């Protein structure tokens, strides 16, 4: 069978102090419609990316309101994940190869995983392109789940998807009973519109990454990684991925440092099992920083986990997410929730989170990133005010309880 992801328990009631009793009751009402429903989420990796973070909270919350939810991950290989990384890049507009060999590797591995699919479910939710063709091979699974409703959740930006790659995936995803997208602009015109639903991702305010941390604790964690919280700091937290443009962030930092010589830069993230490109990007950025002591390149390789990321974001004077393409960018909402202003690439789901000039700024170039960072570093009270606005924006729109309600409503409409 597929690998089942072990999860910690979560209780909806624990979120009442953040979202209010009325919202909790509304969610419970939505849950009663699908009480006892069996739901399976399938993704490519149990850790290291935004999908894994979402499911680590979402599945336990489903269980807490009476849904029999499970999360399983597919088995892969270096060649398969190399292919799916190229697919990911091509669907975001890059000229990555997707030849006959790639198609064969992809379909063979997805079929292999479908043959491992066991259990009877009312709803099967497949995340992103890696396992997307499972619906096509459903009838060959030991438990075909013939009566189940199948849902495809696309987390990436398909605005400029390469036509040949999307044309390959369209027949597979068009078979689903519904699809869920971050924003309307991501949905290709060729996608059957009847089952399209829009539901942006969310963050968990009670996760280790987002819990309140005392200032002395933040200072000590930063000190352990050579970061001085008494000096100004820019922070970008993301996968080591070309689309996150870490080299552009480094270039912007160097421009700002000419005006603020004691400025520090933290580039922190994690390596995901389904992203073989990550180590290459890491090495490229490491070479580009040329041994600069005030540029901190950190990941789970240096035992950087959720607590450390939490501390780095809280210690930041300005958080950056200078993406060139972005499905959503959970780190934007994370930083805003911590009351920090964010400079985000004017792309994808980032534009849902940053109201330009209200919570931070949307930027489109290295030079604009540097100019806005310099403005905020020189006006810390204004920066704090933007961060405070952002926290309330996230409370209203991007907490995991809103996502829970969205999915319960969708299940109820399909059931």
Count helices and strands (H / E) in the chain: 15, 13
Q: Which of 24, 121, 117 is nearest to 68 (CA)?
A: 121
DSSP label at residue 399: B
- Pairwise CA distance, residues 231 & 245, whole Å: 24
> Which sign, positive or negative, has the C-alpha torsion 14, 15, 20, 24?
negative
The pLDDT tens digits for 237-263 are: 998 999 999 999 999 999 999 999 999
* Contact status, residue 349 vs residue 200, Cβ threshold 8 Å: yes
2 token code pair: 């597929």
CATH class as words, domain 3-202+399-414: alpha beta
Please say whether the beta carbons of 292 and 298 come within 8 A. no
Residue 107 CB burial class (10 angstroms; 0-12, 13-18, ≥19): middle
Report the pLDDT value the prediction gives residue 272, as an integer from 0 to 100. 67
Residues of the chain with pLDDT under 50: none
The span from the CA of 338 to the CA of 210, in Å, is: 7
Instruction: Please say whether the beta carbons of 286 and 297 come within 8 A.
Output: yes
pLDDT at 408 (0 to 100): 98
- Residue where the block lists tokens 């979560």: 10
Nearest CA to 403 out of 34, 97, 106, 30 is that of: 30
Instruction: Look up the pTM and report it.
Output: 0.92
Q: Is 230 exposed, middle or buried (0-12, 13-18, 19+ CB in 10 A)?
A: exposed
Instruction: Please give the pLDDT value at position 322.
Output: 98
**Domain limits of the chain?**
3-202+399-414, 215-397
Across 109-119, b (16+ Cβ under 10 Å) vs e yields bbeebbeebeb
Sheet of strand 149-154: strand arrangement: 3-4, 68-73, 38-43, 123-127, 149-154, 178-181, 196-198
Give the residue among 293, 344, 343, 340 at the shortest CA–CA distance from 317.
340
Residue 279: the pLDDT is 85
Provide the CB-side half-sphere exposure for 379 (13 A, CA).
Answer: 13
- Determine the Cα–Cα distance for residues 274 and 76; give it in Å rounded to an integer: 8
What are 22-79's pLDDT values in tens digits? 999 999 999 999 999 999 999 999 987 889 999 999 999 999 999 999 999 999 999 9
Alpha helices in 244-360 (DSSP H): 246-257, 278-289, 306-315, 330-337, 350-353
Q: Which of 317, 271, 293, 322 is nearest to 227 (CA)?
A: 293
Torsion of CA 284, 162, 177, 123, to 10 degrees: -10
Residues 6+ apart with CB under 8 A from 122: 34, 37, 38, 39, 147, 148, 149, 411, 415
**CATH number at 215-397:** 3.40.50.2000
CB 113 within 8 A of CB 131: yes
Backbone angles phi, psi at 75, to 5 degrees: -90, 145
Q: Which residues pair with 356 in a beta bridge?
A: 360
What's the CA gap between 364 and 341, in Å, rounded?
17
């Amino acid at each position: 069978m597929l690998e089942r992801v072990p999860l910690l328990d979560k209780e909806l009631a624990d979120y009442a102090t953040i979202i209010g009793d009325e919202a909790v009751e509304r969610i419970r009402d939505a849950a009663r419609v699908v009480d006892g429903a069996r739901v399976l989420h399938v993704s490519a990796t149990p850790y290291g990316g935004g999908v894994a973070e979402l499911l680590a909270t979402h599945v336990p919350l489903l269980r807490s309101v009476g849904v029999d939810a499970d999360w399983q991950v597919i088995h892969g290989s270096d060649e398969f994940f190399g292919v799916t990384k190229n697919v990911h890049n091509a669907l975001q507009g890059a000229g990555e190869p997707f030849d006959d060999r790639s198609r064969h590797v992809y379909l063979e591995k997805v079929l292999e995983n479908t043959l491992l699919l066991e259990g009877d479910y009312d709803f099967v939710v497949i995340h992103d392109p890696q396992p997307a063709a499972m619906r096509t091979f459903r009838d060959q699974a030991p438990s075909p789940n013939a009566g189940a409703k199948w849902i495809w959740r696309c987390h990436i930006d398909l605005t400029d998807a390469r036509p040949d790659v999307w044309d390959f995936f369209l027949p597979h995803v068009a078979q689903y009973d519904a699809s869920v997208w971050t924003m309307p602009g991501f949905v290709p015109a060729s996608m059957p519109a009847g089952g399209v639903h829009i539901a942006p991702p969310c963050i968990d305010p009670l996760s280790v990454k987002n819990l309140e941390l005392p200032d002395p604790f933040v200072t000590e964690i930063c000190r352990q990684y050579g970061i001085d919280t008494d000096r100004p700091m820019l922070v970008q937290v993301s996968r080591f991925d070309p689309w996150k443009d870490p080299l552009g962030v480094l270039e912007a930092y160097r421009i700002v440092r000419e005006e603020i010589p004691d400025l520090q830069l933290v580039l922190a993230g994690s390596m995901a099992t389904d992203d073989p490109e990550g180590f290459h990007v890491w090495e490229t950025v490491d070479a580009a920083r040329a041994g600069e002591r005030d540029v901190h390149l950190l990941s789970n390789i240096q035992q950087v986990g959720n607590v450390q990321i939490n501390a780095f974001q809280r210690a930041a004077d300005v958080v950056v997410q200078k993406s060139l393409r972005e499905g959503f960018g959970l780190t934007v909402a994370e930083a805003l929730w911590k009351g920090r202003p964010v400079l985000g690439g004017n792309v994808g789901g980032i534009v849902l989170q940053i109201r330009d000039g209200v919570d931070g700024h949307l930027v489109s170039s290295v030079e604009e990133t540097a100019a806005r960072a310099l403005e905020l570093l020189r006006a810390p009270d204004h920066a704090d005010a933007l961060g405070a606005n952002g926290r309330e924006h996230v409370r209203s729109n991007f907490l995991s309880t809103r996502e829970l309600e969205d999915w319960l409503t969708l299940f109820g409409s399909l059931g």
